[in-house]
Each structure stands twice: as structure tokens, then as C-alpha cells.
Structure 1
């Protein structure tokens, strides 16, 4: 995308009444942002949703000065800009009709050929939620996923910190421009996040973290990822909005169950009860439901010369050596383990380098 194209795209964004959906309609009809401004009003009037007020707003000359100022900020601060049709724009977000036309980012983000999941939840994370999040990210680390969250208090910042601790790329999707950080208490994490991923937003540098922006932010968190995981939530909260959006985008949603008496498990329990989320008790649940045991590209792990297997793992390994390739369900039947349990055992064995998954939910010993 050239600076010339960016200039007109920014100007189009500043037109009152032009959101992501309307901008895409105009761009599709006219072919470019520049052409939108140069097309006759009579030709634009036939576009669904374009009325006299919007046609009048398209004549507002002040949008060009605002676009010029934003380009100056982008260039001065090394901000990356992704157009919704560009290769560097999140692939899954392209599928969302209301996905942003432009995304601004900072840091060292690399989305190419990566598993991307979002982890969200309450700002009042408990010890239970923290420990579950740690175990989840620790077990997923060999698969090298990108961890996306909203850089808020609670579950968000814990997820970002643990991702960095386990050497994973992490992305904070923020509800404001990249000239500031909210909450201010999290400024101390900015440099580390940018070294291990970065920040992403659809908002201009002039945008403050107003309440309505957080809901708009949540659709990016839900839309750009393969799966959304709710660690903890009360019966109402922003993470439940993110889960709803993920469902609307036909993404997988997972929720961590908790005791019925725990305030910050009520939202998760309700998601599971109403079948709006899969039950998540371990990384193995996620790997199994997402089918990541097929065509996965984990970080290279050197196989140990002498691997210690516990009795359950040894039983499965011996059966696979004798029978060769075997289906997960048949393996569970012959080894006398429930499927949910054997999925976790197989994941641990895979990380030890003694079994490998094959297409069609087959496994074989190495």
C-alpha cells in the first residue's frame, strides 16, 4: 500500500457515517478510496445505505488535513499499517464483514503460518484462574501459538506475561491509539511485549480509551483468532461479549469450568451450560477439538535417548508398537481409557517425542 493510497483511506475513515462495513461497500463499488471522493454523488447514491447526509459528508475537506496529520504520526513512530486486502492483514479477520479496513500495529508481529488463540476473562483473576492459565500456556508452548488478549487488568495481562515467559509471541489488541497505553500501570510491559509480538489497534492516535471502543476492540480479538478461551468471568463482562462475537464469527470458543458458588466462574459455567463454549479442562481438550494433532508444526524438540514413561503412557506405547497406526477411539477402547483422558496422555507422549499424530485421528509410535 502506497502513502498515496493510505492518505485517501485515512480520509475516508474520517467521513462521518463511514464505518468498516460502509467503507468496504464504497471501496468495492469505486475500486479505491481516492475514487470514492472523485465519483459523482449520483453514482454513489445507488449503494445500499448511502443517503443524502453521507453524500454531503463526503464533501468535507477537513478529512484530508486529518489524514495528513495521521500519516505524519505513523511515519514518525514506525507504525505498521495493514489494509484489509493486504497479505499482512490477519487472514481470519478478512472473513469478518465488520473487520477494520485498516489495522495499525507496533512491535515485531509475525502472523504467517501461525496458530493464533485469544485468552480473555475477568479483570479480577483468582489464584485458580492464574494457575490454570499458566498450565494451559505451558502445555501449549511446544505448538508455538500466538497468544492474543486485550492488555487489560486480570486475565489479559496474565496471559501476555505467561506467553512471554514461555517464549511465545503475544499481541495486545488495544482500544485506543498507539500514542498511549491503557491502563497506564501496564506501561512497564510495553517494551517486552513489543520484543515478543506487539500491539494492534484500529484506532487513530487521536483516539482515547473510551468505553464504547472496548467492544469494538473485542471483535478484533475474536475475529483474528482460531479460538477464544475464557479463563474466568462473572455472569456479565467484556469477555462474554468477546465469546459471543467469536461464536458469531463461527470461531471455536472454550470456557474453563468452576464451582457453581464461585463468582468468577459463573460466566464460564453459563457458556458451557448453554452450549456456547466447549468445556476446557486442559490443553489436551483444545488440541483435540481444534484437531491440531493434524498438520501441526510444533517447535523442534530434540528426542531424548532415554524417555521415561509412566504406566499409562507405557501401556499406550506398547499397544501402538504392536498394532502400528491406530485410531484414537480404538486406542482408547483397547487401552481401557476414556477418550478425554487418552487425548491428554497422547499429547504428553507427543511432547516427549514417542508418538506422532497422523491425518484422520490416527496415532503411531516413533
Structure 2
């Protein structure tokens, strides 16, 4: 509740998943919704719609990519260094650097300090996703999170 109140005071987007009215663990979320301090969320699509995120399928997003771009992008679900990418792809450093530059321009990846690269989605949406996960862990219903919010993953 403290985090939600601070977010509300700083004009941040606050979302809450409603819960059973007779469960103490849902008291805070229900209060935030009742006081109009949080937007009611039932599925991950509600959050995506609020931020006007258009979820494209992986196949749609990757149609415009070259084979090298697809190969490298598939490796960047976890952050990797240039050396790791060279070893895993067998491509030269020059080709990989050119592909990384193209992927960054196309907004598929970002560079982390120290010359490491990672897919962009995780960084941009981590805050919202983190708060949703913490809520579900606190309510002991993480399997519900996977079922209801898989569209954001």
C-alpha cells in the first residue's frame, strides 16, 4: 500500500487486481480500486490496452528481419556480450556489430553498459510486470498470474 500511495502521489499509473471481499490479503487492492487510486485490471490485456501496447506475434515482428538479425535476436533473451555472440553464432565481429546496430535502430534490442546487449521488451516493461508479479506472489496465486498475464510475456 505504501508503494501504491507513493505512486499515486507522483502521478504514476497504478493498477490493482480485485479480490474476494472477505479475504484480508485483498483489502488493499480493493481499497485502491474503490478510492479510484488504481485502475481495475482483470487480465494482462487491460494493462496493454491502457498503455496502447500492440502485441504483435513474434512471427509478425520478425518478418522484416534478415536471417542474421533473427539469429542474433533469438540469443538476446538474456544479456550477452559481443564475444558471447561471436562464439554462439560463428559470425565475425564486424557482421555482428552491424546487425546489433540495425536491431538497436529498429528498437528490438538495447545496449547495456559494458558492451552487453539484451532484447528491449524486458527493460521497458519490467516495472509494471514486477509489481504484478509481487502482487500475485503475496496473494499465493502465482499460477493465476501465468494464466491471466501470459499475453504480456
The interval holding the TM-score normalised by the smaller chain is 0.3 to 0.5
Structure number having the greater helix percentage: 2
Ranked by relative contact order (alpha carbons within 8 Å, sequence separation 6 or more), the top structure is 2
Normalising by the residue count of structure 1, what TM-score does the alignment of the two structures yield? Answer: 0.16
How high is the TM-score relative to the length of structure 2? 0.37
